[in-house]
Amino acid sequence: MSVTSFKRRGGAEEHDAGSVSRPPTKERHELEEKAERSLSAMLALLAPAITTNVHDEAMIELGASAEMFVEPLGKHEVQVLACALYMERQDLPLGYADILKLTDRFTGKAMNITMVYRSIERLIDRGLLCQNEVVDKGGNRSRTYTIHGAGREAFRLAVMNSQLLAEANSHVAA
């Protein structure tokens, strides 16, 4: 199993005033290794529950029921939650501009602003992200966002699901 690496646009790191700086290569490599170890450990813990058929009947009923099935997180929603967690770890608030900078930094392409707005609204509606109104000294209003505990758990499960599906695809391709 591998964790997607950080990407750089055009093969070179780009810096501009006000942008979030890219982690050095050694730090980025250490982050990738830690993430892979964490994901491997989580999947190892979940493997017995995933591979047994003890709960198949209940799972089939839930999966087939239109009322019980909830759409999983989309790619953009997962990216916004990742940005929220990243900014939280930096003890900084999350705003629209941060999402644009961070998605550009980690994927090589900034998320479309329309997708940022839509993803934030969906995450708020789902109770995974919280909107905070901020008023500065000049009376200007802005919005920042924080992630809820349910958002953290949904993010972790989405990443684990993505890794599981990627590994399954690698077995099919082999």
In a shared domain, residues 160 and 83: yes
In a domain, 13, yes or no: no
Same domain flag for 101 and 45: no
Residues 153 and 174 in one domain: yes
Does residue 115 share a domain with residue 30? no
What's 5's DSSP letter? P
Q: Residue 8 pLDDT more than 50?
A: no
Query: What confidence tens digit (pLDDT) does each residue in 83-103 have?
Result: 999 999 999 999 999 999 999
Q: Does residue 6 form part of some domain?
A: no
- Tell me, yes or no, whether 141 and 158 share the same domain: yes
63 and 80 assigned to the same domain: no
Three-state DSSP class for 134?
A: strand
- Per-residue pLDDT, averaged over 5-29, amounts to 50
Which residue type sits at 34?
A: K
- Domain hosting residue 130, numbered range: 73-174
Are 93 and 57 members of one domain? Answer: no
Q: Is residue 94 in a domain?
A: yes
Of 29-38, 44-53, 111-120, 156-165, which gets the smallest average pLDDT?
44-53
Q: What token pair was written down for 19?
A: 């942008």
pTM (2 d.p.)? 0.64
Q: Write the CB contacts of 10 (distance below 8 Å, at least 6 apart in sequence).
A: none
